[in-house]
C-alpha cells in the first residue's frame, strides 16, 4: 500500500504546528510567578546560549534579566545568582537551607 503524495507534507506541517503551539503555550503560563530568564529550547534548554565561555554568557544574560534568573540545562532548571548581594543571600544568610545536595537515584 502506497501513501498519497501529500502525506509527508501533511505530517511535517502537523509537527510544525504542534511544536509552535507547545512553545506558545509555555510562554503564556504565569510569567510573573517564575524568575526571569530567557525561554529555553525544547530538550537542549540553554546550551545554545552558553558558547565557549559560559561565565561570560551568563554575565551577559544577567545584564538583561537581573541578578537572579532561571535558566535550564537540559531538563534541569537552575537558579543563577550573579551578584555579590545574591551570593551573600544564598551562601551566608540562608546557608543551612542550601548546605546539602539533592537526593539523587544515581550515586
Report pLDDT digits (tens) over 31-86: 557 788 887 777 777 777 788 888 888 888 899 999 999 888 777 788 888 888 98
Answer yes or no: is pLDDT of 30 > 60.
no
Tell me what the mean pLDDT of segment 17-44 comes to.
74
Task: Answer whether residue 54 is part of any domain.
Answer: yes
Tally of domains within the chain: 1
Rounded Cα–Cα distance for residues 72 and 52 (Å): 17
Q: What is the residue whose three cell numbers read 510567578?
A: 33
CA distance 107 to 77: 20
Domain that holds residue 23: 7-93
Q: Per the domain annotation, does 104 fall within a domain? A: no
10 Å CB burial of residue 47 (0-12, 13-18, 19+) is: middle
Within a domain: residue 105? no
pLDDT of residue 76: 77
Residue 62 placed within a domain: yes
- Asked whether residue 59 is assigned to any structural domain, the reply reads yes
In a domain, 103, yes or no: no
Decide: 80 and 50 in contact? Cβ < 8 Å: no
Residue 17 phi, psi dihedral angles, 5° rounding: -65, -45
Answer yes or no: is 2 within a domain: no
The confidence score (pLDDT) of residue 63 equals 92
Amino acid at each position: 500500500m502506497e501513501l498519497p503524495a501529500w502525506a509527508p507534507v501533511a505530517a511535517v506541517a502537523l509537527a510544525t504546528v504542534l511544536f509552535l503551539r507547545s512553545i506558545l503555550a509555555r510562554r503564556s503560563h504565569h510569567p510573573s510567578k517564575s524568575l526571569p530568564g530567557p525561554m529555553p529550547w525544547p530538550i537542549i534548554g540553554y546550551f545554545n546560549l552558553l558558547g565557549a565561555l559560559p561565565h561570560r554568557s551568563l554575565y551577559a544574560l544577567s545584564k538583561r534579566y537581573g541578578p537572579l534568573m532561571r535558566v535550564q540545562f537540559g531538563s534541569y532548571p537552575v537558579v543563577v545568582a550573579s551578584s555579590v548581594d545574591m551570593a551573600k543571600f544564598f551562601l551566608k544568610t540562608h546557608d543551612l537551607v542550601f548546605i546539602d545536595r539533592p537526593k539523587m537515584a544515581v550515586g
